[in-house]
Structure 1
Amino acid sequence: MYRRCGFRYEKKLRITGVARIAGIDEAGRGALAGPVVAAAVILPEKFRHRRLNDSKQLAPDLREEIYSDLVSNPEVRWTVGIIDSIEIDRINILRASHQAMRMAIGALIDPPDHVLIDGLPVIPFPFPQTAIVDGDCISLSIAAASVIAKVTRDRMMRDFCSQFPQYCFDQHKGYGTELHLLRLHEFGPCPIHRRSFEPVAQPLLALEDITQVRSPSARCAGRELGVPLSQA
């Protein structure tokens, strides 16, 4: 069901004197390949965007447009944390998601007074926080984070498609679609596949001689760092 996002939670916090409220969300948690990306966003109190909503409810072109609106707005503070498939396999996807979130929050120049999180249990970092079920459909701060995380990751997967075109990462972004599973069975896993995930972990798919270099395990980017995503 489509819900329009608003500042209901943010307003309640501001009434109590909370000033800097960060929304945080991740993208790529359930994919079979590629990184998990978390974004942290602090919106100005008077921020308005009539089309901003949960990234999953937006058409790709509209997501890109809203992303551009957010990152080009000098009053919007945003950062991303990126954990690649090597680290996901090493520590598991839940811990990797939490680590990406901590990286994104930690990269904000001025730490938030409170963090709003989309539907996850409390994350182990030293800020007051509120987990909101379907938060990316309710809170504008979380919705903004969901768009930045999703577009950041989608762009990375399109770049990976140029390195590994046989998997068509530009079409499914690493998720377990029929096309992706067919290509995985045909070619086996590539360096960005998560070997701890099924069906990548199936013995018949395992490749013992992978010579390609895999991506760095952790990165941050964002306005707060002065690091555009193209250089992260």
Structure 2
Amino acid sequence: MKTPGLFDLPFGDALDARAEARMAEKLDGRLAGVDEAGRGPWAGPVVTAAVILDYARLPDGLNDSKKLTEAKREALFEEICASAWVSFAGASAATIDQINIRAATLQAMRRSVQGLALQPRHVVVDGRDVPPGLGIDGQALVKGDARCLAVAAASIIAKVVRDRMMVTADADYPGFGFAVHKGYGVPAHMAALTLLGPCPLHRRSFKPIAALLDAR
């Protein structure tokens, strides 16, 4: 839901570095993109990121994280962190179960923005919602990770951070295959759940996990 009185920046239907750089220049360079990774999985946190790019030092190949290989995301992650203002935050499975995935995501998005060392003047958020309580002008942009470079950069940061967390979780909770499927609802994950039952990283409010617990 948009907050009344916020102005929208005119983003097109595709990434346009020159047009976005002109928009950012009008904001003293303080245009932040925000995105998340991990709303859909059955296990693990949702991770959000906020990025303010330096348009004079854009990493080559910057794009929506879903359109990139894992190797390219990892390389861009390092380049973004070296050339931009970056902040990320997360919400655990327990928090997701307590307040629901949408609220947990928006809460983490707000903390990502607030964690930026450089205060943005305008925030572009992937999706349909601007996190409440930002105190900064902002807009929701559907398919923002394919239309705004700053959002694309945030999508890469969030995705890489979350993937790394799930690889670590695989060592802490062996047998679930977290390093491979990252907590998403694939057949191998369900087979492991049926055999082992949920671990502390599983989102018990999600229907497949709730149904499994009810059946036990």
TM-score normalized with structure 1 length: 0.81
| 1:150 maps to amino acid | K
Match status 1:25 vs 2:35: yes
Partner SS state of residue 43, structure 2: coil
Partner SS state of residue 167, structure 1: coil
Identity %: 43
Distance 2:163 2:155 in 1: 12
Partner of 1:215: none
Match status 1:6 vs 2:11: no
Partner of 2:160: 151
Q: Residue 46 and residue 35 in structure 1: after superposition, are their counterparts in 2 closer, same or farther (change >3 A)?
A: same
Match status 1:180 vs 2:202: no
Give a deviation string over 1:131-150, Cα, whole Å, max 9, x none.
22211012110010000000
Partner of 1:88: 96
Q: Residue 119 and residue 8 in structure 1: after superposition, are their counterparts in 2 closer, same or farther (change >3 A)?
A: farther
Partner SS state of residue 80, structure 1: strand
Partner of 1:194: 203
Distance 1:170 1:194 in 2: 17
Structure 2 spans left out of the alignment, 5+ residues: 1-12
Deviation at 1:37, TM superposition (A): 0.4
Partner of 2:150: 141
Partner SS state of residue 209, structure 2: coil
Distance 1:12 1:130 in 2: 17
Deviation at 1:68, TM superposition (A): 1.2
Give a deviation string over 1:56-94, Cα, whole Å, max 9, x none.
111111111111111133xx1001011111111111000
Partner SS state of residue 49, structure 2: strand
Partner of 2:139: 130
| 1:154 maps to amino acid | D
| 1:61 maps to amino acid | A
Q: 1:56 aligns with which of 59, 66, 82?
A: 66
Match status 1:101 vs 2:98: no
Partner of 1:223: none
Distance 1:56 1:157 in 2: 17
Deviation at 1:45, TM superposition (A): 2.8
Worse overlay, 152-161 or 14-23: 14-23
Distance 2:29 2:125 in 1: 17
Distance 1:31 1:9 in 2: 35
Deviation at 1:16, TM superposition (A): 4.5
Q: 1:34 aligns with which of 12, 25, 44?
A: 44
Partner of 2:79: 69
Partner SS state of residue 81, structure 1: strand
Q: Residue 118 and residue 67 in structure 1: after superposition, are their counterparts in 2 closer, same or farther (change >3 A)?
A: same
Partner SS state of residue 165, structure 1: coil
Deviation at 1:120, TM superposition (A): 2.4
**2:86 and 2:116 in contact (8 A); partners too:** yes
TM-score normalized with structure 2 length: 0.87
Aligned residues: 203
Partner SS state of residue 117, structure 1: strand
Structure 1 spans left out of the alignment, 5+ residues: 208-232
Distance 1:118 1:152 in 2: 17
Distance 1:44 1:15 in 2: 10
